[in-house]
Amino acid sequence: MSRHDFDPKTVTPDGRPPAKARLFDGTREGPYRGSVEGEALAAQVTVLAYGNDEPGTGPVLHVHPYDEVFVVQQGRARFFVGEAVIDAGAGDTVLGPAGVPHRFVNLGPGRLQTLDIHLSPRWIQTDLE
């Protein structure tokens, strides 16, 4: 599939150099394996690697002042976003809109692994539980 969504001549590079940062260390214990704040890359997104092997567990109810996008890479999760309940599996993407409390749990069986994309150069969060 070939895409031609815009004319490249209409975009002027802003001068930022390419950047690299390590997202996670596979030997690190706990559900949060690591994060890269957008500030480290001069970018407007922060990325977290989250995973757990225990069905029924997940992050506490929390809220952000910006959108968060969850990409389920492995396993199955139940997301609680405001009043909505959304079941998602590997390959699914879920939106947590700015200002809407959310959390998720591993539905099992096995490992849940997500990439959590914060549309902010910094991870800003208020836990509600």
CATH (domain of 96): 2.60.120.10
Inside any domain, residue 1: no
Task: HSE, CB side, 13 Å, CA atoms: give it for residue 89.
Answer: 3
Q: Residue 60 falls within a domain, yes or no?
A: yes
Is residue 3 one of the residues assigned to a domain? no
Which tokens in the block code for residue 73? 């890479």
Q: Note the pLDDT tens digit of each residue in 38-76.
A: 999 999 999 999 999 999 999 999 999 999 999 999 999
Query: What is the sign, positive or negative, of the torsion defined by CA atoms of 4, 20, 12, 122?
Result: positive
Residue 42 within a domain: yes
pLDDT of residue 69: 97
* Strands (DSSP E) found in the chain: 32-36, 46-52, 62-63, 68-74, 76-81, 84-89, 93-96, 102-106, 112-118, 126-127
Which pTM does this prediction carry? 0.86
Q: What pLDDT band is residue 26 in, cutting at 50, 70 and 90?
A: confident
Q: How many domains, in total, are found in the chain?
A: 1
The Cα–Cα gap between 38 and 101 comes to 22
